[in-house]
């Protein structure tokens, strides 16, 4: 396939797919959820997780106020919920009510955790820095929720139980298939 090399960067979806998560927040009695594809683990010790959030988001305002957030990973059956919370504004609508999103109780923060999540992190903000039009919000993971059956003994997602939500960009979603998994041990492959 011929390659295009260009300085017209555009929205650069070329590095997708990304796992689409749902970031939750609360300030006072106001709770909210938004879709997030720009997120990453940063450190194991201490356990740090980052999310890149536009300061325009209502979720961002709640996080600034409370200094807490949740990162929720839902199975592919809930991809419509990802699109719903990513396509509506917490300033205008109570997304939890409108989309009938069930909540679990957090243990270390006050932010709602989604019952549908096969895994979720409770995070306390330790840092934030603006990069261009987004803010990289870094949280220390203070509690983890996960469905035991959703993970293998090696702590990897069990694709027989759970299909993660992959976002391709341009409102397209997909998932992964267990039959495509390959075990490639780095010690063996690293020897060449
Ligand atoms: C799949 C998907 C991924 C998204 N990823 C991000 C993201 O990483 N960061 C961000 O700021 N907005 C992201 N958005 C946009 C927000 O979810 C969207 O603007 C949402 O309406 C914000 O809600 P709020 O204003 O109630 O916080 C994404 C949207 C979708 C549909």
Which residues have any ligand 1 atom within 6 Å of their CB?
Answer: 20, 32, 34-38, 52-54, 57-59, 82-83, 86, 88-90, 134, 167
Using pLDDT thresholds of 50, 70 and 90, give the confidence band for residue 192: confident
Residue 175 sits in a domain whose CATH number is: 2.30.110.10
Element (H, E) at 124: strand 119-131
For ligand 1, atom 29, name the residue with the nearest CA.
86
Q: What pLDDT score does 151 carry?
A: 98
Task: Report if residue 76 sits inside a domain.
Answer: yes
For residue 175, tell me if it sits in a domain.
yes
| Total tally of structural domains belonging to the chain | 1
Residue 96, domain member (yes or no) = yes
Domain that holds residue 179: 18-190
- Residue range 60-73, pLDDT digits in tens: 999 999 999 999 99
The encoded tokens of residue 108 equal: 């270390």
Alpha-carbon torsion, ordered 78, 76, 23, 155, to 10 deg? 130
Give, for ligand 1, the residue of 57, 96, 128 to mutate: max count of ligand atoms closer than 8 Å to Cβ: 57
* CA 2 – ligand 1 centroid, Å: 33
Inside any domain, residue 158: yes
The confidence band for 86, taking pLDDT boundaries of 50, 70 and 90, is very high
Q: What is the pLDDT of residues 132-189, one digit of tens each?
A: 999 999 999 999 999 999 999 999 999 999 999 999 999 999 999 999 999 999 999 9
Ligand 1 centre from 185 Cα, in Å?
A: 36
In-domain check, residue 36? yes
Asked whether residue 6 is assigned to any structural domain, the reply reads no
> Is the model's pTM score more than 0.85?
yes
Q: Is the peptide bond prior to 122 cis by the omega test (within 30 degrees of 0)?
A: no
Is 107 within the bounds of a domain? yes
């Amino acid at each position: 396939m011929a390659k295009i090399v260009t300085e017209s960067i555009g929205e650069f979806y070329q590095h997708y797919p990304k796992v689409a998560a749902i970031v939750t927040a609360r300030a006072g009695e106001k709770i909210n959820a938004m879709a997030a594809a720009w997120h990453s683990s940063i450190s194991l010790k201490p356990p740090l997780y980052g999310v890149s959030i536009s300061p325009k988001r209502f979720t961002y305002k709640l996080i600034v106020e409370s200094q807490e957030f949740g990162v929720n990973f839902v199975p592919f059956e809930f991809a419509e919920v990802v699109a719903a919370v990513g396509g509506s504004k917490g300033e205008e609508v109570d997304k939890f009510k409108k989309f009938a999103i069930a909540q679990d109780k957090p243990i270390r923060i006050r932010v709602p955790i989604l019952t549908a999540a096969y895994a979720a992190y409770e995070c306390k903000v330790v840092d934030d820095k603006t990069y261009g039009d987004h803010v990289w919000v870094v949280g220390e993971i203070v509690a983890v929720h996960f469905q035991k059956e959703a993970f293998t003994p090696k702590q990897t997602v069990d694709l027989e139980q759970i299909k993660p939500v992959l976002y391709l960009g341009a409102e397209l979603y997909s998932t992964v298939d267990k039959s495509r998994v390959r075990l490639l041990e780095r010690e063996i492959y690293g020897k060449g």
